[in-house]
A and B are shown apart, each in its own frame.
Chain A
Amino acid sequence: MNEWIFFLLLFLTPVVSSVPIALAYKSKEWTERLPYLSVFGIFVSVLMSLYIFFTMEGQYSWPWLGPELGINFVFMCDYLSRYMGVVTAVIAFFIAIYGLDYMKGDYRPSWYWFCFNLFTASMLLVVYSDNLFLLFVGWEGLGAASWGLIGHWFRDDDDIAYVGKAGRKVGPLELSWPPSSGGWRAISTIRFGDVPMFFAIAAIWVLAGNLNISEINWESLFMGIGAAGTIILMLCFLMGLFTKSAQVPFSEWLMTAMTGPTTVSALLHSATMVAAGAFVFLKVTWYIEPWNLHNVPGLELVYTIVLFVGLLSGLYGALCGSGMLERKVLLAASTMSSIGLMFAAGAASFWFHHEIAGMNLALLVGFWYMATHAFAKASLFLVAGHLIHATHSRFLCGGLEFGKRIKPAFIATIIATTFLIGMPPLTAYWVKSGMDEVMEHLYLHEPHIVLPIILLILTSLTYSAIMARFLSLNFIKGEKPEHEHLEGGGLMKLGYSMMVSVLFILLFLIFINEETAGFVHAGYMSMSFVVGVGALIAYLVALYVPRISIFSRVPGTFFNDRMYLPYLNDYITPKIGFFISYMVQEFGNRGIDAFFNTKVIPGLFGAISKGIRKIQIGYLNVYVKIVLGFVMLFLIIASIGGIGL
């Protein structure tokens, strides 16, 4: 059987199916019809991912650039890829259906659908690639498509697409970003991480002689370069993952990525882009098997860094979310928080050896949390998009009366939030119980540190509260919206209803799968139950009191302004960069320029012309000197050059 056909259809159909709409960008009639073709392209990917899930396993490879460069089409159908492929394709398909309604009447449908499908195809490439070069191709495809999508409404002419209150300044910085800035912030941050990642991959190829993640002898690679080499190599690689997954301090782009259409936000936050970083970390860790490499110097430090970057991002995102009043930005902060926990769970595998069905439980926890989060968060984003359409406001608003009038969105939000926060006995509870067990292990056994479990509990409780806040301020206790536009949106409702229903399937899978039995076991532990109940209480309290006026003023503003991290992104870093370039231009280059162009060259010409004039004065002694000088010069050259006379 020619398996390559399935991979070709999987990756290329979304892109090829969106080419017609890209080419027909000038025709209104065709750009209204052709989105259906683009959605069909993604549907083919769904079918292919399902086919791969059920029938294919192991590595599949075909030559590309040959063995000298180590670059080939190598795909891995392992546990992570097979599941994640389905998750990505299905989520993209549901969002695409939703997008048929949501993007109707948009001024750039060609751009949108081409980038959207490219985005999906790129993520699928990241998911299935075993070859790091190929993975990087998909990785950069994600970056390019996200830039196009985040800055989709590049005209910056509608406040609804902005992030932050227009004109609001804190110090010298205006905390308001239009779509064109959102796109720029995304691509600049992502490239900042991708470049070191590229160099790390090049170094891996040179040092290991293999680019296939599953075939690289990681132990010998790390042992060969020592502690410093391992730390530098891995940190360079991780830079790409941290920036893509918006972990602190690279999280700012994610918040302003909300300037893009909501469908983009939904895809970006659930199954692509930010998820890609965490997914690649889990995938690479799966094959590095760090729990077997405690003898490798430097590796523990790398995993410790990832653990704490993840946990701190988790808490940072949750805290920021607690002060936010913009629908999508609140969800963005919560995504960053969740992704942080995925990193943390994956990193904990270094110390956590427990295996179920031959798989490390910590990695399974990280992955299942990713899958649960993907469907729940995509549902919430799609709901947010519907609400923005319905109220023509990007800020949290909507009371119970409004909630009743928009029931599908209300119900989907209830399901998505409760299934996501880790409340017993819903889906995320079992996964988070596994996470509790992993972090508890770090305290009770190796490396005996209590901070991870504390950070995890704090994050979980805050996270529950912000999810409840989203529900409450949109459907129960929010202000009455100024505009209400509740007609239509059938496909939008269908999109998030299908999306949220998958959470029930995941719950079912957790109970029947062999490898997730560990989650269920952990769910019955008292520690997990206490945390779960804590999350439920936090949820209920926040549902009842979504805004605390004293809190809103000082810490609320501080959190809403993302603890002023935008300053690092928009002020300090660019100022330093432009200052250096200004210094180079004004003092360095002008100096060199002036030296050559106003001193050396005119000076040289002056000296030559003076010399020539001197020849013409007619004194014999000058001519004798010149002749003698030439003779001397000739003799010197002849003696140096060894020219025989």
Chain B
Amino acid sequence: MSGRRIATVLGVAQVPMRTRLSQYTYADLLGVVAARALEDAKVDAADVDGLILAMAPTTTLGIDEPHFWATADLPGMKGFLGRVHTLASSGLVAFRLACAHVAAKRAKRVLVVAADLADESPDLIAAIGMFANPFAERHYPQSAAAAHAFEMTAYMARNALTERDMAHVIVKNRANGIANEYAQLRAPVTVDEVVDSPVLSWPIKRADASPRTSGAAAVLVGPADEKGVAATGFGNYANHPVSGARMVPGLDESYFDASDLRQAAARAYAMAGIERPHDEIDLAEVYASFGIIELLSIEGLGLTNGGVAARMIRDGEFHRDARLPVNASGGATCGTPISATGLIRVIEATLQLRGTAGARQIKHEPRRAAVSAIGGLFQLQEVGVLEA
């Protein structure tokens, strides 16, 4: 059974992800992906009447309110509909908002653009740390690696898993990334190499983590009755910004068991008419900046039961040639520009559903995809469903 078409993905574009994209300014990047998305859609710029910018956090860019200076002459600029900021889920949330404006007939074609130049700051972690209070220049005391180390430690302890068991998700993704011409990391790694890479915050090693990435993406959204891959469901779930509030045994353990993502997925699946996600979804593109997040996402999306994803990946499930591939693109651990990463999940799922993903194309003609993204430290979960 198919869900109700909310809106159609008319065109997509991204640029190869790199640590440094020194040939572009931020505005250049937006312009390049915007032009390519319209070219992909075969739509003239004059026929785009809405624009949304996904940009978060502005701190990494170094200049606030980029929509005022980086959107000049982008298609749909005069009908700008806002900047979305939900951290790493911004791209997916912006896509959802574009679908809503089109479905509500407020605009006919809305372009969503996002870019990041992660090398603009000499110290990205310090820049992100200044989220908390730029007036006092006080750094947020918890890095992403340290925060997700809690999750990984708990996951390993609860499910009797070793560091080697946990490494297989990275090995899978890096192998997938080889076939993705847009991936930043395109070299394979072994379990030994993952386990032996430098510890960032035990048990998270450098190879468990996404690289620091510059990149950009754009998606053009049009009416539901146009031909193309359609969005058929969205769901979101917000929780407390302080991760400790979600580590309370017996009260809220969502930081460890992905139950927030499960709630978001339930909302999206209800909208899309999905009752048995494992049977009714053909592929998933999940935002996972660390291997542990992908394992929790697979389980939170209902693609398997809790606590078993690591072993299933070790045994060959969720690989590109499996029945239900997850991150056939290599995912965020092969490159993740923060503002654009949610859009890239939409783009990769769209390419797979179109059957135009090139060397990374899934062979079994997928019809339905789940995409997900996370804002903050597992604080905000966003799930979308796309159908061919």
Do these two chains interact? Answer: no
